[in-house]
Amino acid sequence: MEPITLIRSGTVVLPATNIDTDQIIPARYLTATTRGELGTALFSDWRYDTEGHPRPDFALNQPQADGCRILVAGRNFGCGSSREHAAWALHDWGFRAVISTEIADIFRGNSLKNGLLPVVVGEDAHRWLLEHPGAEIEIDLAALCLRLANGTVVPFPIEAFARHCLMNGIDELGYLLAQDEAIGRHESLAG
């Protein structure tokens, strides 16, 4: 996993609330048996018409979305299914962070494990972000803050261990494997 310390990029804005993982990646794309390239299927049913042509009015299809690494979305992003394919698809498309006022639990956990930073901000910062699609902003994981183009600095919380992993590009499995002795002890006590 590539380490993340600072993300500076324009934003893509999807203001809808409760964007569920079925929208992020519909179930028919879950038949893959490898991580593969899921970026093309990201938001498939919103992004393409019935003939499979890109809908020009959808945010991801607009030229200014190219190269954007930050998605700003309405409240309760990522609710629904536990499919990690949702985080994979966002990451594969090029996103490295998702900002919302609330991010669903399982999706948040999956994102943290895949180099996709879930950023939860307050209503005011969120409103500014929704009103300024494409704005160039900075997410500073070291300083735990967001810097908006209007000069505002917005702090955000993140679980300490997940931050450590993201900043150093390490995954949790190595840490868990190193607990082998404690796990063995628990197993012999619990039977």
Partner 1 sequence: MLSPPGTLLDKVWDRHVVVPETADAPAVLYIDLHLVHEVTSPQAFDVLRGRGLRLRRPDRTLATMDHSTPTDPAQIAGRVPIAVESAARQVRQLTRNCQEFGVELLGMQDERRGIVHIIGPELGLTQPGRTIVCGDSHTSTHGAFGALAFGIGTTEVGHVFATQCLLQRRPKTMAIEVTGRLGPGITAKDLVLAIIGRIGINGGTGHVIEYLGSGIEALSMDERMTVCNMSIEAGARAGMVAPDQTTFEYLKGRPRAPEGEAWERAVADWRALRTEPHAQFDRRVSHSADSVEPMITYGTHPGMVVPIGGRVPDRPGDAVHAKSLAYMGLQPGERLRDKAIQAVFIGSCTNARLSDLEVAAKVFAGRRVAPGVRVLVVPGSQSVKRAAEEHGLAKIFIDAGAEWRESGCSMCLGMNGDTVEPGHYCVSTSNRNFEGRQGKGARTLLASPAAAAAAAVRGRITDPREFLH
**76 — phi, psi (to 5°)?**
65, 50
Angle at 40 between CA 36 and CA 41, to 5 degrees: 90
CA distances from 189 to 128, 179, 183 (A): 54, 16, 10
Q: Which of residues 5, 40, 64, 179 is near partner 1 by CB under 8 A?
A: 179
**C-beta of residue 135 within 8 angstroms of C-beta of residue 13:** no
Q: Which of residues 61, 113, 144, 167 is near partner 1 by CB under 8 A?
A: 113
- Binding to partner 1 in span 34-63, by CB under 8 A: 34-35, 45, 50
Residues in the interface with partner 1 (CB under 8 A) total 54
Is residue 124 a contact point for partner 1 (CB under 8 A)?
no
What track of x and - describes contact with partner 1 for positions 72 through 111 (by CB under 8 A)? --xxx--xxxxxx--x--------------x-xxx--xx-
**C-beta of residue 43 within 8 angstroms of C-beta of residue 23:** yes
Q: Which of 138, 170, 144, 147 is nearest to 159 (CA)?
A: 144
Given the rule CB under 8 A, which residues bind partner 1? 15-18, 20, 22-23, 26-28, 30-35, 45, 50, 74-76, 79-84, 87, 102, 104-106, 109-110, 113-114, 159-161, 164, 171-173, 175-177, 179-180, 182-183, 185-187, 190
